[in-house]
Amino acid sequence: MNLRVKRAKELAGYALTLTRQEGPAVMLRRAAGFAARRMPGKRGRYLPSRQALEAQRGQDTSRFPLISVCTPLYNTPKAYLEAFLDSLQAQTCPRWQLCLADASDEAHAYVGQLVAARGDERIRYTKIENKGIAANTNAAAALAGGEYLALADHDDLLAPHAVYAMGRAIRESGADFLYSDEALFETTMDRARVAHFKPDFAPEYLLGCNYICHLAVFRRSLFEQVGGERGECDGAQDYDLFWRLIDAGAKPYHLPQVLYYWRVHAGSTSGGDGAKPYVQAAGLKTLADHLARTGQKGTPEPGLCPGTYRVRWQLEENPLVSILIPSKDHIEDLKKCLDSVYQKTEYRHFEVLVLENNSTDPATFAFYGTLPRSYPGCRVEKFTGAFNFSAINNFGRARAKGEYLLMLNNDVEVIDGEWLGELVAQASRPGVAIAGAMLYYPDDTVQHGGVITGLGGYAGHSHKYHRRGASGYMFRLCTVQDFSAVTAACLLVRTSVFDQVGGMDEAFTVAFNDVDFCLRVRDAGWRVVWTPYARLYHYESKSRGLDEKDPVKKARFDGERARLYRIHGRENILRDPYYNPSLTLDREDFSESADLRNLKDPEI
């Protein structure tokens, strides 16, 4: 087939899939990026330069730890095995060992012969009976002499600088458990299809799916301490191992470089869990066992998208939630909001404080008079100062009785009943203080899927304008996520933590008050989570933005923006730990950055 025709068909298929899943606007942006990645000028996009690789080969790495790469073999196609072995022997750092446990049948005797033909003393090989992927991996690990182990599949490739980058990171960090970014490929690594750029360790994301995957490297002693991989979790054996390493005290360290290339073919889970339907059952067992080991009370179940999971957390108590709704006139919006809260919410232990701020329409006050009768537990508290979102919520907190505060805009509408119970369940977990919700525009596109600092230079909403029901970037729109911040249009926080950090900063009158608040909560040692299982409409206009023609508003916005940098530091804002430095700061759709300098690290 003509190459141009092939690329055109490829792009058309990709565009059709995106249009169905995420809508035409997202399709156009993503398809453009896909086309750019597939053009000849983009070869080796995720690889360091030849000069950088040669510089690595010339360095003294004798003090780097020995990394034993553990790989079970089973009827491996010749071309795949040759390519895999080539990728190890092409490493820029010689501090590796390859441990192969071969369970191939007699018809594939060439597997052992190909390995033997390499004649490399760093390659250790044993022939075994096929007892399943976990047992076979353990057999490979039994050959290891390295201080650290790495897991690799027999049909994949290691980037040429994988051992060097991991060895250097171990030397610098002393980490027990490390993981890198990865890319999917079909033929060669310099024509990779797309990369998976991961966040730093995100425990909520890991509960939703095995985002760590490859390349994972960890201390051999820790692997032995937890008993290696478990056969009863075959299909999710690495996922299970990662959780047991973490439960044993390992703190995953993320190295944001593409060090692993995952081959896409019919039998690989890189193409989706449909290739191996037992994977989900094994993943659910992994999570159930993790919860039991750590004493957490919840029930794992399949998630919103194939290959993902959800934990339904058991609420031990029934805490009172104080819902704080700032309001000025616009009683149609307020009534819609209150009707949805009272008619749809399944979690009933709440009070509502309408925080009245300088309304002028007599109809507003007439409506207020009906609230106690129409909405039990609802009352009006009058804030008389000029509009200041932070001050209004601080005022509301002083009058609230709840153990949790829910900051809620008056222009939102509840979609389904589990929203508040889900937020309470998330925010009441050990270490978590804030929970945020999925907010949609009325046209069923995403308004808020969590806040990422650094987008647009300051902060932006994850997956804005994606179609409702889309999975997002690597399942990040359909799984509970760790974020640095969530919007105060719907934000639940422990009242004790609100008080601990001094409430909201009233110098942020309109902009960035929620971002600043969440960052201060995070800096105090608490986690912020976002859940797609709390769903509301937000009637904020899509076209809403800064009025550049109003010098007073512009000056205020610029001042609050500068204050965000001043308090939290520009570099901290621009480097969100839950967003990868190889993803763009110019858009909210998780597109790759045009500048992948972190992959071309001049120091390596």
Supply the pLDDT for residue 12: 38
Q: Which residues partner with 253 through β-bridges?
A: 178
**What six digits make up the tokens of 174?**
């002393």
Using the predicted structure, report yes or no on whether residue 388 has a pLDDT greater than 50. Answer: yes
The C-alpha atoms of residue 477 and residue 80 are separated, in whole angstroms, by 34
pLDDT, mean over the chain: 90
Using the predicted structure, report yes or no on whether residue 403 has a pLDDT greater than 60. Answer: yes
- CB under 8 Å to 494, separation ≥6 — which residues? 403, 404, 427, 428, 433, 434
Average pLDDT over residues 312-319: 94
Q: Residue 298: pLDDT band by 50, 70, 90 thresholds?
A: very high
Half-sphere exposure of 251 toward its Cβ, with a 13 Å CA cutoff? 4
Mean pLDDT lowest for which of 10-14, 60-64, 224-228, 554-558? Answer: 10-14
How many residues comprise the chain?
Answer: 604
Tokens 């051992």 correspond to what residue?
163
Tokens 């997202």 correspond to what residue?
26
Per-residue pLDDT of 362-372, as tens digits, reads 999 999 999 99
Instruction: Write the DSSP string, 549-604.
Output: T-HHHHHHHHHHHHHHHHHH-HHHHH--TTS-TTB-SS-SS-PBPS--GGGG-TT-
pTM score, two decimals? 0.90
Supply the pLDDT for residue 104: 95
Half-sphere exposure of 505 toward its Cβ, with a 13 Å CA cutoff? 19
Supply the pLDDT for residue 345: 98
* Nearest residue to 149 (alpha-carbon basis) of 247, 222, 82, 220: 220
Average pLDDT over residues 214-229: 98
Supply the pLDDT for residue 552: 85
Average pLDDT over residues 73-97: 97
Tally Cβ neighbours within 10 Å of residue 555. Answer: 10
Check residue 522 and report its DSSP letter: H
Supply the pLDDT for residue 554: 86
Q: Could you state, in order of their start, the residue ranges of all structural domains in the chain?
A: 3-39, 61-271, 321-574
CB 426 within 8 A of CB 529: yes
Using the predicted structure, report yes or no on whether residue 334 has a pLDDT greater than 80. Answer: yes
Using the predicted structure, report yes or no on whether residue 479 has a pLDDT greater than 60. Answer: yes
CB 410 within 8 A of CB 337: yes
Average pLDDT over residues 320-336: 96
CB 310 within 8 A of CB 480: yes
CB 259 within 8 A of CB 182: yes
Supply the pLDDT for residue 373: 94
Supply the pLDDT for residue 267: 56
Q: Residue 301: pLDDT band by 50, 70, 90 thresholds?
A: very high
- CB under 8 Å to 16, separation ≥6 — which residues? none
61-271 and 321-574: same fold?
yes
Share of the chain above pLDDT 70, in %: 88
Using the predicted structure, report yes or no on whether residue 405 has a pLDDT greater than 60. Answer: yes
The C-alpha atoms of residue 564 and residue 519 are separated, in whole angstroms, by 10
Per-residue pLDDT of 114-158, as tens digits, reads 999 999 999 999 999 999 999 999 999 999 999 999 999 999 999
Its CATH architecture, for the domain 61-271, is Alpha-Beta Complex (3.90)
CB 485 within 8 A of CB 453: yes
Per-residue pLDDT of 527-545, as tens digits, reads 999 999 999 999 986 545 5
Per-residue pLDDT of 151-182, as tens digits, reads 999 999 999 999 999 999 999 999 999 999 99
Supply the pLDDT for residue 553: 83
Its CATH architecture, for the domain 321-574, is Alpha-Beta Complex (3.90)
Using the predicted structure, report yes or no on whether residue 112 has a pLDDT greater than 50. Answer: yes
Phi, psi (degrees; rounded to nearest 5) at 408: -140, 125
Supply the pLDDT for residue 541: 64
Supply the pLDDT for residue 592: 92
The C-alpha atoms of residue 307 and residue 211 are separated, in whole angstroms, by 11
Using the predicted structure, report yes or no on whether residue 23 has a pLDDT greater than 90. Answer: no
